[in-house]
Amino acid sequence: MTTVLVVDDQPLQRFGFRMLLDAVAETEVVGEAAHGGEAVRKAAELRPDVVLMDVRMPGMDGIEATRRITAAGDRSRVLVLTTFDLDEYVHAALRAGASGFLLKDARPEELLAGIRAVAAGDAVIAPSLTRRLLDEFARYGPVPGDDGTDDARLRSLTDREREILVAVGKGWSNGEIAARFVLSESTVKTHVGRVLAKIGARDRVQAVIFAYDHGLARPNGG
């Protein structure tokens, strides 16, 4: 059973999500919130597996709420919902610690699959969408003057793990990485898991952001 906290300032939107999620056996809505402040309080109280987070809300928005929820270190993972594909709000939410995002016009089965993926520790954003996300990062640029040489997390990586991180940053799937380095997909999965642990990333989305911020990846596969 995957527990979900629904956060949206529109009552009808929350009602629709609750109807959908309560209609399937593997998900349970344990609470609702109408703004970011309430979301932070209820996430701490209810400790849901997944927080379904709207971005634009009065008062504390979904970005700040995501930052506070993920900074708390609890098990809850945030899945951002937005009306606009790859807008600056979603970019900021991912940097704040969200595990991915979906559009509000996603099909019900896509939303359910996304919730399951996030609850399992995976990222919702597919490799092809990750590449588009890197293009969006180009508008903001990497951390100024940071080439990663002084980051202890990068120094802790083996040469192979660094290669894997670069490949993840480019948006490559496990299959693509396996083919490039002549490895089995299970071996790649193990390497990716070690990389995530060493750099402190919750999932592949956060690893992509880390790689880009440290100059290891560039838009358009660079």
Which residue ranges of the chain lie beneath pLDDT 70?
A: 84-90, 125-150, 218-222
Residue 96, both tokens: 């704040």
pTM here is 0.71
> What pLDDT score does 134 carry?
59
Pairing of strands 2-7, 50-54: parallel
Contact 164, 195 (CB under 8 A): yes
> What pLDDT score does 126 carry?
46
Question: 14 to each of 32, 56, 81, 95, 105, how far by Cα in Å?
Answer: 7, 14, 12, 25, 14
CA–CA distance, 57 with 16 (Å, rounded to integer): 17
Contact 99, 73 (CB under 8 A): no
